[in-house]
Amino acid sequence: MIKKDSLKKILNRFSKKRIGAVGDFIADEYIYGATDRVSREAPVLILKYDHGDIFPGGCGNACNNLNALGCEVIPFGVIGDDDTGKILLKQFRSKGINTSNLLKDKKRTTARKTRILAGGHHTAKQQVIRIDRESRYFISDSIEAKLIGRIKKELPNLDALIISDYNLGVISERLIEYINSLAEKKETIITVDSRFRFNRFKNITALTPNEVEASRTTGIAIGDDDESLIKCGNALFDITNPDALLITRGRRGMSLFEKNGTITSIDVYGKDEISDVTGAGDTVISAFTLALASGATFREAMMISNYAGGIVVMKSGTATVTKAELLAAIKDVEATPKIKCLKKR
């Protein structure tokens, strides 16, 4: 039984923590407009531009979430010497986030994902297309060495380290080897969210894949039944040997696999009518990691991150969750998610 007072105490320790985040930094751009007629040039709708927004995405979204939760965040990564990179730096600095470990590479393009949202003047805007501009090649050896050196220098002063791997070239094989060597020592809390390469990370404190990522890694599809979930989770656990594995399951909540063999599932917090899943995984790993760094058990960290994920998917676009929102959710007795223990691994 998890006591809510314990969760509140964990949240109140957030502000004393210092969390590092390493990974691919992306600019999430949203362009909004109204459609009212078809073009004469081609059978397409004409979008009349209304306004646009840009938010840090990828590892940048994890950093924004950590910042919103009240801790000190130290980003590590590589951006291009371009307008998109400058926008990200400006946004981080406006929030008081230290950007000294975001290295510039003149040969690299800062990743930018542009989402076009269209609709009528009095209707909700829907995403109609996404345009991705990105560098997929790995960072150079010299940049890689410099980045690892920066992490080594800061590591003694960090309470935890998040790895946010969007497969855009920053998380190189050498960097993965370094991360795995740190994980083997068990001196630092390390959590990983990876789009395609969970199988490369070994002995990590915790991995946080979604169902698709877990299934892709193991070749085992997760259905609505507990049996397929357990089979997939156990297989991924055997491949990676983490201390814990947190599989996020959308409307079905999330499931925690621990090294002691216990498997715990929790229902989704809030409404199951999800508004936008963009960046939800970044929010989950941020809250989960910060909770662990603040003394939470894996189950307590799961519950806190479940609240965070449930809150953020009800917001539009790349969003964050605050400590105040988490405290309000914990106080909401009627909305307490149900927890069930499945059979041992």
CB-based contact 245:206 (threshold 8 Å): yes
User: 254-258 and 263-266: which strand pairing?
Assistant: antiparallel
Known active-site residue 53: no
Q: DSSP class of residue 77?
A: E
Give the type of residue at 277.
Answer: V
- Transcribe 99-155 into DSSP letters: -TTEEEETT-PPEEEEEEEEE-TTS--EEEEEEEE---SPPPHHHHHHHHHHHHHHG
- Transcribe 217-270 into DSSP letters: HHT----SSHHHHHHHHHHHHHHH--SEEEEE-GGG-EEEEETTS-EEEEPPSS
Which residue in the list 83, 226, 282, 332 is annotated as catalytic? 282
Closest CA to 11 of 228, 330, 234: 330
- Which sequence positions are flagged as catalytic? 282
